[in-house]
Amino acid sequence: MVQISDIVNRLQLDVYSGEDFLSRKVTSSEISRPELELTGYFNYYPHNRIQVFGMKEMSFVEQMSHAEKDIIFRKLCDVDTPAFVIARGFDAPEELVKAAIEKGIPIIKSTISTSRLSGMISNFLESELAERISIHGVLVEIYGLGVLIQGKSGIGKSETGLELIKKGHRLIADDRVDIYRQDERTVIGESPKILEHLMEIRGIGIIDVMNLFGASAVKHHTQINLVVNLKDWSTDNTFDRLGSATGSINLANVAVPKISIPVSNGRNVATIIEVAAMNFRARTMGYDATKKFEDNLSKLIEQNSEEEGD
């Protein structure tokens, strides 16, 4: 559940009136611009959404009489209306302030343009109200890419994450990662508040990463771009050698690329994951080393065939 105070604090908005009412709850991530309602049409009024007033709404209000404003604003102030937001630095009409105070509804003000402010509020609410799923793993940000490290207990996920932090990368979550779908192609990962900035290292215990490495070593959340599955090296297991067998894993109904990395004595897993992230970024930018190798191999085979023919 999100309170109006959360929106005010996170988006750094100003309270125009009703500071005592900032604990009101928001249950919908959608927002409303009450254009039709200002004309008196309330048949489909989405009263449980945040109501945003921009230049069009305020220009129309200026043409209304005092009596019309009084009637319309009292209808806008429903029992479950979370808040009114005034964009572009406009002042709230006196009639709206009076009606809102009577119903205990806060009025928020901002100098930001209406469309941008609406997008900011909507995006914040979608992320905060989205259903969370907890999964096991270590989430780090490597060169701007969110990499989720998974594997069986004791394989060294946290130790690998710690080594990556020492290399200058950032921790998002250790052991438990809360994920949610931002849209059809994007899944976001974050740390539960009780575990934020903390890691468990066997033999040492709990450490505070921000306290030891500084604020630049941690981050609140990140998109999960790649999943790395750590597996014990074994002759019974088959691992991809050319990089052409990248699979995927379903996280919050979003398909995320996944690779498996064997773990054995003498392998610097942190460095391998670091390179895997760099290679993944190169592929997304259109450069594929595997394809280049296959092209070179095809050319070599063709060249040898021509020489044998001669």
Q: Residue 25 pLDDT more than 90?
A: yes
Is the pLDDT confidence value at 272 over 70?
A: yes
- In the chain, what percentage of residues exceed pLDDT 70? 88
Q: What is the pLDDT of residue 54?
A: 96
pLDDT at residue number 31: 95
Work out the pLDDT band at 283, boundaries 50, 70, 90. Answer: confident
Q: Mean per-residue pLDDT for 132-150?
A: 96
**Tens digit of pLDDT for each residue in 100-112?**
999 999 999 999 9
| CATH code, 2-129 | 3.40.1390.20
Q: What is the mean pLDDT of the chain?
A: 90
CA–CA gap between residue 145 and residue 135 (Å, rounded): 19
CATH placement of domain 133-291: 3.40.50.300
pLDDT at 290: 63
pLDDT for 224: 97
Q: Please confirm, yes or no, whether 14 is among the known catalytic residues.
A: no
Angstrom distance (rounded) from CA 160 to CA 142: 12
Q: pTM (2 decimals)? A: 0.74
269: which residues sit within 8 A by CB, 6+ positions away?
156, 160, 163, 230, 261, 263
Q: Residue 308: which residues within 8 A CB-CB, separation 6 or more?
A: none
Q: Is 132 a catalytic residue?
A: no
pLDDT band at 285 (very low <50, low <70, confident <90, very high): confident
Q: Is the pLDDT of residue 244 over 80?
A: no
- Give the pLDDT mean for 211-238: 88
Is there a catalytic annotation at residue 136? yes
Catalytic residue among 49, 157, 219, 221: 157
Closest CA to 77 of 52, 106, 103, 95: 103
What is the pLDDT averaged over residues 69-92? 96
Mean pLDDT of the 177-199 span: 93
Percent of residues, the chain, with pLDDT higher than 90: 77
Residue among 136, 152, 185, 292 flagged as catalytic: 136
SS3 225: strand
Mean pLDDT of 4-19: 96
Assigned token pair, 181: 């779908």
Q: Where in the chain is the domain with CATH 3.40.50.300?
A: 133-291
pLDDT(250) > 70: yes
- Poorest-pLDDT segment among 64-78, 152-166, 202-216, 284-298: 284-298
Residue intervals of the chain classified under CATH 3.40.1390.20 are 2-129
Separation of alpha carbons 138 and 155, rounded Å: 12
Please tell me the predicted confidence (pLDDT) of residue 236. Answer: 62
**Residue 233 pLDDT more than 90?**
no
Q: How far apart are CA 27 and CA 60, in angstroms?
A: 28
pLDDT band at 284 (very low <50, low <70, confident <90, very high): confident
User: Exactly one of 98, 175, 181, 231 is catalytic; which is it?
Assistant: 175
Over the stretch 166-177, which tens digit does the pLDDT of each residue have? Answer: 999 999 999 999
Give pLDDT, residue 88.
95
Catalytic residue check, 310: no
| Band (52; pLDDT cuts 50, 70, 90) | very high
Comparing 85 with 282, the larger pLDDT belongs to 85
